[in-house]
Chain A
Amino acid sequence: MSQTSPQIGMRDKTPKARAFINARIIVSPDETIENGTLLIDNGLVVGVGENISIPDNYFLIDLNGKSIYPGFIDPYTEYGIKKQAKVKRDRNHSPKYLGDRTGGNAWNDAIHSEKNWSDQFQPVKKESDKLLKLGFTTVHSVRKDGIFRGRSFVTLLGEGLPNDLLLVPHGSQFLSFKKGNSKQDYPESMMGGIALIRQMFYDIDWYQKAHDAHNKNGNQQFPEFNAAIEALANVHSEVLFFDGGTDVHSISRIARIAEEFNLKFISLASGYEYARMDDLKKTGQLLIVPLDFPKAPEVKTLEDDYDLKLSQLRHWETAPGNLARLEENGVKFALTTSRMKDTDKFWKNLRQAIKRGLSKKGALAALTSVPAQICDLADRTGSLEKGKLANFFICDGDIFEKKVDIYSTWVAGSRNEFQTIPMTDFAGNYSFRIENDSFNFILTGIVPSVSGTLEVGEWESKLKKVESDQNKISFAVAIDSTEGAGLYRFTGRKLEQKIIGQMTNPEGELTDWVATYVGPSSNDAKDAEEDNDADEAKDDDAPFFAHLTYPNKSFGFESLPKSENVLLINGTVWTADEAGILDNADVLIIDRKIAKVGHNLTAPSGIRTIDATGKHITPGIIDPHSHLAVSGNVNEGTHAVTSEVRIGDVINPDQINIYRQVAGGVTACLSMHGSANPIGGQCQAIKLRWGSSAEEMKIVDAPIMLKFALGENVKQSNWGEKYKIRYPQSRMGVETIMRDEFQAALEYEADWSAYNSLSKKNKSQTVPPRKNIRLDAIVEVLHNRMLVQCHAYTQAETLMFMRLAEEYGFTIELFAHILEGYKIADEMAKHGAGGTTFSDWWAYKFEVYDAIPYNAGLMVERGVLTTVHSDNADLARRLNTEAAKIVMYNDMPQEEAIKLATINPAKQLGIDNRVGSLVEGKDADFVIWNGNPLSIYSRVEETWIDGKNYFSIEKDSLMQQEIAQEKNRLIQKLLQQNSSDTGSSSKKWGEK
């Protein structure tokens, strides 16, 4: 129709005016007209109401009580955009450091915000039909690839020219944390994706200022043209979309970015919102929720149970209730078919969600008014009010209640018909005669799903091959009469109260027959439908067994531990402080803090005492080098310098190893970036507050540590043949690249101070330095405001780095692993660097061939602040016996050895003001052991953090029982739903 296209052939001038009468019209989630009229013309709703007059020129369509729903809108599809092949990346492929540069695009191939996906839009009939049949008329579409994915569009479904179909050709910008099909290495981690986004938002501000300044004063170097940045120029006045996949923490992560840059986001839901509802509510975001529920886990054999996790079983049972939980909690959301492997499940899933508590009104809003608002089309679609697009579908009754047929979906007044509206109701009892015999047959169901039985006296037979369409019906019956057996075939038309037609007997002789309606069928007319809905119904009558815990998996808490005031009495108290080890001593915990440590303390009235006779109490174990609680890759090991990435952005509070480490007495750790590059990322000190959110795990005000690394890892010695091109490939280059970065940071800082000292007027005419979050971190390091932990093994590289740091005026807080620390302990002590080391690992690569288990002891002897670390989720659970190894190898006194895993790491991480020793005023983080904590024969009985009990043997064994029970019930339920033949025997076990 497109006005600018020339007419080829005959012009189509068919009138578009239609009046749908006798219809149940659902105008909007808030308004239903039980028997009304809908008028449409020229693609728009012209009128809707109970008693509206129908102008003469309207073609009438009598819906006989059928329903009209406003057309659905899917706010997140990839409709009409060509699919891409998935790119595979692994270590067998050569690294790709540079992006493909064309047309002023961004440096990183995962950024293509300059793309307007409507440029490539073409309607795709097959996909369109699929969605139309579900009741959708409009979709919001973008290619689901990359971090800055480009600009979406909104289009009508159906056939036609893109020019006519596109409602919003230039929609919104979409983001994710995943680089998708970009072949470029950076970013390889979620934190890298987040850093890339943050830098981009800084670049947008810079770009504007830089070009403004250059426009005012052309007599300076001109800032680059960047199409990707320009496409995001209005980002602060737009709403952005974010797809964080199925990670329940993604939305909180993007919300932190939204807060930092004052942006508005609408996010894809993970489907796990119910598990972290409070976190989600804090974001205040509007959600797009995929109507995708997990497939029932496979439990064919008993052995399949071994691969099943409780968390998986819980999600299977709980997920369909997610929408109801969102609604209850006042979270506004739209629905999408996105992420559904099988859109045929759309209605089944939706009705399941409704049975699980989602209101029908909420469901309708989530498919109409809310997505219309999301697509910025609330004035044009989303309801059937006058003036809006004539987007709707016609179906047979309350589609949210039960399975009903959708007859047609109308898009901007154009009809897409899937089946004609049946005007004939075959249901009923009929009688007819063939020769002298009298027959009865009973029909149930509605066209085209009619079924029935034939009765002759006591004898009955099911009708076979029943076909019905409009007023026609045909079927066959197997009759075993005295004249012979075979199929009798019938065909007939219903005319008023009769079915009139012809039949053949098994011999092929043709006869006329007439059946007369004698009354309604006695069978339940719903039979046929119930068959269809059987699988829908099954789920909902069964009782629910899944618990909801924090985190929502094994060993999660039903409710988070509460702080207690307690007095521990008569224990052996390892203070990890000057007081050393106190026998028969008491520890008083008040308000999450250690109130007192000493002998014969008296408890304030009403507080619980714990008899610690025979027990040992130590400060909580602190692991200064861990990779615990990180989502995705712990390395952004792509560029040689990635100081912009932050572990703090990707804390994953749900890892089961957190609990396991708590059970090993660990109360805090530094969660770290890996050692894949000379300057890695920013690390995050956390307390192992199992059950808390990511943010609540962080130790507030703990210094940030930047990870540096030296040696084989960073020069890629063991990365395989393809990894020989990144600078540096030698320890010499490690020094120079660091020096280069430090120098750049200094100069960057100087550029900024020069710029900042300009007058306001001069500033507006001067291209500002580009804010560079990578260099920002280095500047912090150079000023000792960000601490440095450096992965180091050999003495030469360690000395190099200390000298380099000294040259640039900062101190290295901590060398990690530092297995040759014993060779240069004096130098380290002099520099002021601590050492955190493996107790006895060695020989796993060449640079640790001189590692010795006497390392820690010797470093301590030479005055280096020394600790043992894990670097390993299992080993972290035994840092007490790691410290005991130093007693074994170096005869270190036990009261000193305990410090290697308590106060010393607290000092190294700069958190010793609050944790690390049992002294008055510090946080009540402690462990109760059943014996000497350094003995292999001792085990943790209780672990406390902030005066809250996070682990005890009793609680743990209770949880084990509960987990087994819950898991078993869920598996039983699963088995019953999976097999149709359970209970096939009416006899009970043991009956004869």
Chain B
Amino acid sequence: MRLTRIVSALKHITIVALILLASTVYAHDYIPAVQQSQPILIKGGDLQTVSNGVMPQTDLLFENGRITAIAKNITPPEKCKIIDVSGKIVYPGLIAPNSSIGLTEIGAVRATNDRREVGGINPNIKSATAYNPDSEIIPSVRSNGITTVLVVPGGSLLRGQSSLINLDGWTIEDATEKASLGMHLNWPKASISTGWWVEKSAEDQKKDMAENRKLLHQLFDDARAYQIARQDNPEIKKDGRWESMIPVLEGRMPLFVHAGDARQIEQAVDFCRDLKLNMVLVGGTDAWKLSQLLIENNIPVIFRKVQSLPAREDDPHDLSYKTPALLEKAGVNFCLSNGSATSVRNLPFQAGQAVAFGLSPEMALRSITLSTAEILGVSDDLGSLEVGKKATIIVSEGDIMDHLGHRVILEFINGAEVDLNNKHKELFEKYKHKH
């Protein structure tokens, strides 16, 4: 039912329709897109440029994977494929900045999980190493308009390096946007847990927390000792872990600090300021309480989950829903994330939910596109519809952030048209035959 509707919507663009139909023949092996070989003109859509507002009924041309023109009535170059999207909305591809896609397939099946390494000191592991481009989760996420994800390793303390991946490609090498984008650190817990299941007393918890902070400081001391020793004598014996920390200590690689509680955030900000580290805050439950601190120190926030319960009993029921609005009002630089793997496909609705609770619709869209690209340091290539940026573009029948409008009908990654089929559509189609 659904597929025929898509086809009928595109009936005058035979090439596109053929690709979609072809994919159903190949069952589970969605063929990665072919590199863009001819100019493509997306015609007559309402462009949500993000960087330059909404441009109604405007054409967008891209060649060799990059946007080359945005204007009304562009004259198509030679051999140009033209896709009429009148009445549809064109967006930059959505970016999910805190995901484990490709590192996990089935949560409870150990063999399918490469989410985290053992031990607390793993700065030298890199998520791209284990990313599985054939994960069934990938097509299910990209068919909802998410084109790019930051794949982040899990872990207890120093988790490792994240990789920016686009959700298409034969191999991880095809899919990699940036193999080592940032270093990830879990900030030691700073709040007291209560509840019938909690065994440790508040006092013991406080002791543990102090111990963990001490460990963290020691860890960075060790890394710096190595950095200094190496500067003086490049021939010293190589420590793979501390070697990986050098770009972080030199401020070349951002340190993504995963922290929610205000105390953690404050500690982390001070820590990074002292060591002149380039910090990005991930999680940020209490970030709204510390907006001034974050702004003064120029620290962006990847707010983890709009659709979640408030952290504390006395909090307003809608605190997570309205946190993005609070951050916007305070002027904090932020973007949104959602879930780790399968639920990344609901990223746009996190933004929509925040709109219901006060976030401006413009900022909402920005927080899943351009702000994210800026925070990840890839806004030269991604995040908005601008000439010169990568042609990573989606087209939806309606408002991408509302379930009632969200219908992704076209998607390009680096100019190549992506198969929107997925395991779920396949199974749906298959079982239609049964009934």
Given the interface contacts A840-B346, A937-B352, does A887 sit within 8 Å of B404 by beta carbon?
yes
A891 to B3, CA, bound (A): 12
B380 within 8 A of A: no
Query: Which of B226-234, B273-281, B310-318 lies at the interface?
Result: B310-318
C-alpha spacing A956/B315, complex, angstroms: 11
A843 and B352 contact, Cβ closer than 8 Å, known pairs A311-B313, A936-B403, A967-B314: no
27 contacts between A and B (CB under 8 A): A555-B317, A659-B317, A660-B317, A718-B108, A822-B427, A843-B341, A844-B342, A845-B107, A845-B109, A852-B425, A858-B432, A862-B435, A873-B309, A877-B317, A881-B403, A885-B403, A888-B403, A888-B406, A934-B404, A935-B402, A936-B352, A936-B353, A936-B355, A936-B401, A937-B355, A939-B318, A939-B356
How far, in angstroms, from A717 to B108 measured CA to CA in the complex?
A: 9
> What is the 8 Å Cβ interface bit string for chain B, positions 409-435, against chain A (1 contact, 0 not)?
000000000000001110110011011
Asked whether B427 lies within 8 Å of A874 as measured between CB atoms, the reply is no
Asked if B389 is an interface residue, CB under 8 A from chain A, the answer is no
Which residues of B are interface residues toward A (Cβ below 8 A)?
Answer: 1-2, 5, 105-109, 136-137, 140, 190-192, 194, 196, 202, 261-263, 266, 286, 307-310, 312-314, 316-318, 341-343, 345-346, 349, 352-353, 355-357, 401-404, 406-407, 423-425, 427-428, 431-432, 434-435
The docked-state distance in angstroms from the alpha carbon of A853 to that of B427 is: 10
- Give Cα A826–Cα B345 distance, bound, in whole angstroms: 29
A663 and B318 contacting across the interface, CB-CB below 8 Å? yes
Chain A neighbourhood of B261, CB < 8 A: 306
Which single member of B5, B286, B427 contacts A852 (CB below 8 Å)? B427
**Bound-complex Cα distance A938 to B312 (A):** 24
Structural contact, B107 and A874, CB atoms closer than 8 A: no
Which residues from B are CB-within-8-Å of A554?
Answer: 313-314
Tell me which of B107, B202, B341, B404 contacts A298 (CB under 8 A): B202
Q: Which residues of A contact B194 (CB under 8 A)?
A: 307
Cα A874 to Cα B308 with chains together (Å): 6
Are B435 and A825 interface neighbours, CB within 8 A?
yes
Contact yes or no, B403 A887, CB < 8 A: yes
Q: Are B424 and A854 in contact (CB under 8 A)?
A: yes
Question: What A residues does B190 contact at CB under 8 A?
Answer: 303
A-side residues, CB < 8 A to B, are: 298, 303, 306-307, 309-311, 553-555, 632, 656-657, 659-660, 663-664, 712, 717-718, 822-823, 825-826, 840-846, 849-850, 852-854, 858, 861-862, 873-874, 877-878, 881, 884-885, 887-891, 894, 932, 934-939, 956, 960, 963, 967
Q: In the complex, what distance in Å separates the CA atom of A769 from the CA atom of B403?
A: 58
**Of all chain B residues, which has the CB nearest A822?**
B431
Q: State in angstroms the CA–CA spacing of A253 and B264 once bound together.
A: 41
Q: Are B109 and A963 within 8 A (Cβ)?
A: no
Sorted from nearest, which 9 A-B pairs have the closest CB atoms?
A: A936-B352, A845-B108, A884-B403, A844-B107, A852-B424, A854-B428, A660-B317, A888-B403, A663-B317
A718 CA to B140 CA in the complex, in Å? 25
Question: Would you give the shortest CB distance from A633 to chain B, in whole angstroms?
Answer: 9
Name A657's contact: one of B108, B309, B341 (CB within 8 Å).
B309
Of the residues A826, A854, A873, A894, contact of B435 by C-beta under 8 Å? A826
User: Contact between A858 and B431 (Cβ–Cβ < 8 Å)?
Assistant: yes
A307 B191 Cβ-Cβ under 8 A:
yes
* Bound Cα distance from A983 to B403, whole angstroms: 58
A965 smallest CB distance to B (angstroms): 12
User: Which residues of B have CB within 8 Å of A842?
Assistant: 140, 342, 424
| Complex CA–CA separation, A936 to B406 (angstroms) | 11
| Additional 9 contacts, C-beta under 8 A, given A309-B314, A553-B313 | A554-B313, A632-B196, A823-B434, A825-B435, A844-B108, A878-B307, A881-B403, A894-B404, A935-B404
**With the chains together, A852 CA to B427 CA distance in Å?**
7
Q: How far is the CB of B190 from chain A (nearest CB, A)?
A: 8
CB pair A303–B309 under 8 Å, yes or no, is no
Known: A659-B317, A825-B435. Contact between A844 and B106, CB under 8 A?
yes
CB-CB under 8 A from A850, the residues of chain B are: 427
CB of B428 within 8 A of CB of A858, answer yes
Residues on A with beta carbons closer than 8 Å to the beta carbon of B435: 825-826, 858, 861-862
CA distance A637 to B27 in the complex (A): 40
Cα A553 to Cα B424 in complex, Å, equals 44
* Docked complex Cα distance between A939 and B308 (Å): 15
- Contact in complex: A843, B105 (CB < 8 Å): yes
B427 proximity list for chain A (CB < 8 A): 822, 850, 852, 854
- The listed residue (A309, A823, A825) touching B313 by CB distance below 8 A is A309
Residues of the A chain whose Cβ atoms lie less than 8 Å from the Cβ of B140: 842
Inter-chain contact B403/A306, CB cutoff 8 Å: no
Within the complex, the shortest CB–CB distance from A825 to chain B, in Å, comes to: 6
| Chain B residue contacts of A632, Cβ below 8 A | 196
Which residues from B are CB-within-8-Å of A659? 317
Closest chain A CB from B246 CB (angstroms): 33
Residues of A within 8 A of B192 (CB): 307
CA distance A237 to B401 in the complex (A): 67
Cα A432 to Cα B346 in complex, Å, equals 91
Closest chain B residue to A88 by CB distance? B199
Q: A862-B435, A937-B352 are in contact. Are A306 and B262 (CB under 8 A)?
A: yes
Docked CA distance A936–B109 (Å): 33
The answer to whether B318 and A303 touch across the interface, beta carbons within 8 angstroms, is: no
Residues of A within 8 A of B403 (CB): 881, 884-885, 887-888, 934-936
Rounded to whole angstroms, the CA-CA distance of A712 and B106 in the bound complex is 13
Shortest Cβ gap from B143 to chain A (Å): 10
Contact B106 A936 (CB under 8 A): no
Bound Cα distance from A310 to B314, whole angstroms: 7
- Whether the pair A936, B434 counts as a contact (CB closer than 8 A) is no
Chain A nearest CB, measured from B350 CB (Å):
9
Nearest residue, chain B, Cβ from A842: B342
- Smallest CB separation, A307 vs chain B (Å): 4
| A849 to B135 alpha-carbon distance, docked (Å) | 12
Given the known inter-chain contacts A309-B313, A956-B317, please indicate yes or no for A884 contacting B424, CB distance below 8 A.
Answer: no
Complex CA distance for A416 and B310, rounded to whole angstroms: 57
Nearest CB on A from B140, distance (A): 8
Q: How far does the alpha carbon of A769 sit from the alpha carbon of B356 in the complex, in Å?
A: 61
Q: Does B404 contact A884, Cβ atoms closer than 8 Å?
A: yes
Q: Across the interface, do A840 and B345 meet the contact criterion of CB distance under 8 Å?
A: yes
Say whether A937 contacts B424, CB under 8 Å: no
Give min CB distance, B397 to chain A, whole Å: 11
Would A660 and B313 count as touching, CB distance under 8 A?
no
Q: List chain B residues, Cβ under 8 A from A937.
A: 352, 355-356, 402
How far apart are the CA atoms of A889 and B355 in the complex, in Å?
22
Find chain B residues with CB under 8 A from A823 CB.
Answer: 431, 434
Docked Cα-Cα span, A825 to B431, in Å, equals 10
**Chain A: CB-nearest residue to B263:** A303
Of chain B, the residue at the smallest CB distance from A853 is B424
Give A873 to B308 CA distance when docked, in angstroms: 9
In the docked arrangement, what's the CA distance between A670 and B253, Å? 50
